[in-house]
Structure 1
Amino acid sequence: MKQRFRVVIRCSKCGEKYILRGRKKDSGGYETGFIRCVCGNEANLKVDVTPE
């Protein structure tokens, strides 16, 4: 079983904050199911990851 991580995503465009749980992908990055902010921003996001 893979370790889970707490992923905090903050939109730099509107300031919205999302707190999600995710797992590390084999190809790098984290899988959380997050696609885009409610303002439509997909690229300009700040991501902080900490182990659970």
Structure 2
Amino acid sequence: MSFLLRVKVKIRCKECGERFVLRGRKEHGRIETGFKQCLCNNKNRFEIEEDF
């Protein structure tokens, strides 16, 4: 049986400073939001924080 939890995630781009607040699913300790890249085309450098 899998346990699925809805969480709020704060993402900040380390390149341009843009901030995003998204909802995601947490399953088996991993969060999936569907977020792929920032508006500045950054795909790798992010600060990600789970918000309760």
For Structure 1 versus Structure 2, the TM-score category normalised by the shorter chain is 0.7 to 0.9
Q: Indicate the residue corresponding to 1:7 in structure 2.
A: 9
Please identify the structure whose Cα radius of gyration is greater.
2
Q: Quick one: structure 1 residues 40 and 9, their matched pair in 2 at CA, closer, same or farther if it must change by over 3 Å? A: same
Instruction: Name the structure with the higher strand share.
Output: 2
The 8 Å contact of residues 4 and 27 in structure 2, kept in 1 or not, is answered as no
The 8 Å contact of residues 5 and 27 in structure 2, kept in 1 or not, is answered as no
Divergent runs of 4+, >6 A: none
Give the TM-score, by structure 1 length.
0.82
Unmatched segments (≥5 aa) in structure 1: none
Aligned length: 50
For the aligned residues, what is the CA RMSD?
1.5
Unmatched segments (≥5 aa) in structure 2: none
Residue by residue over 1:5-50, the C-alpha shift from the partner in whole angstroms, topping out at 9 and shown as x without a partner, is 1100000100000000001144x43111100001011111000002
Identity %: 42
